[in-house]
Amino acid sequence: MSGLLEGRVALVTGAGQGVGRGIALALAAEGASVAVAGRTVAKCEKVADEIATRGGEAWPVALDVKDPEQVMATVHDVVERLGGLHILVNNAQEVARGALLEVDLDQVQSGWESGPLATLRLMRAAHPHLCDGGVIINLASRAGVKPDPVDCGAYAAVKEAIRVLTRSAAWEWADDGIRCFAIMPLADSPALADLARDEPDAYERSLRSIPMRRFGDPETDIGRVVVFLCGPDAGYLTGITIPIDGGAAHLG
């Protein structure tokens, strides 16, 4: 790798597995020091060890993004431990699925708390440290742009709220030197593995909806786009949503 992000510090939530892990690995591969944050610290430690084995710097952090005090403390501790904060990746998200008349409202509440509310809290906590060159990457979903968000309306609403926060921050914080993006990844994940095992027909339908006929690799497909957005070549971009999904959102 080229060391594109050498000297930068990144905080990635939900980084113990799946897309969060892939993004953390890709950022570290380009020289960023990465705070690997998540509720299950053992998973974060495993990812941090993987980064260290590759020659990078990482710090595992236990973080429940629904806890406002933990959010503030984590941002403070990352700055103290790693020497700053330049990249924030809001990936952690609890998911509520089901038809609107059937979906569990407690799960819906958790989705809003772990999604838009946690995203806003982390953005606000990180804002002073991100000024003059920082980047925020928020995780959206193609569920929010599908014409028929069957059984995922509540989840789609959560993810669309995150996109609105992203666009608002991009506008409001441009003068502060902060660039903001939303990404809509479609990648291999533990949830997809469960779907393939438990509902193979649904898994195949999802796969067929992707023009490129494969799910993305969390590190090389999703993480590398995040690296680009955080690097100097994307310096005149902000406020946009990037679908990293093999064409599924607009062609599938």
Is 174 a residue whose pLDDT tops 90?
yes
Calculate what percentage of the chain has a pLDDT beyond 90: 83
Confidence at residue 190, expressed as pLDDT on a 0 to 100 scale = 81
Domain ranges of the chain: 9-188+217-240
Catalytic site includes residue 203: no
Q: Is 154 helix (H, G, I), strand (E, B) or coil?
A: helix
Dihedral angle sign, alpha carbons of residues 219, 48, 123, 94: positive
Q: Please identify which of the residues 155, 173, 181, 215 carries the catalytic annotation.
A: 155
Cα 167 from Cα 150, distance rounded (Å): 26
Is 195 a residue whose pLDDT tops 90?
no
Dihedral angle sign, alpha carbons of residues 125, 184, 7, 172: negative
Condensed to tens digits (0 to 9), the pLDDT of residues 143-172 reads 888 767 678 899 999 999 999 999 999 999
Is 51 a residue whose pLDDT tops 90?
yes
Look up the CATH number of domain 9-188+217-240.
3.40.50.720
Condensed to tens digits (0 to 9), the pLDDT of residues 11-39 reads 999 999 999 999 999 999 999 999 999 99
3-state secondary structure 87-121: EEEECCCCCCCCCCCCCCHHHHHHHHHHHHHHHHH
How confident is the prediction for the chain on average, in pLDDT? Answer: 94
Best CA proximity match to 211, nearest among 185, 156, 241, 249: 249
Distances from the Cα of 126 to the Cαs of 40, 51, 121, 209, in angstroms? 22, 23, 9, 37
Tell me the one-letter amino acid at 83. G
Report the pLDDT averaged over residues 177-200: 90
Best CA proximity match to 222, nearest among 14, 2, 43, 21: 21
> Among 36-40, 191-195, 240-244, which stretch is predicted with the lowest mean pLDDT?
191-195
Q: Taking a C-beta distance cutoff of 8 angstroms, is the pair 48, 72 a contact?
A: no
Confidence at residue 206, expressed as pLDDT on a 0 to 100 scale = 85
Q: Is 26 helix (H, G, I), strand (E, B) or coil?
A: helix
Q: Taking a C-beta distance cutoff of 8 angstroms, is the pair 19, 222 a contact?
A: yes
Q: Taking a C-beta distance cutoff of 8 angstroms, is the pair 52, 28 a contact?
A: no
**Phi, psi dihedral angles at 171 (to 5 degrees):** -75, -50
Confidence at residue 64, expressed as pLDDT on a 0 to 100 scale = 98
Confidence at residue 209, expressed as pLDDT on a 0 to 100 scale = 86
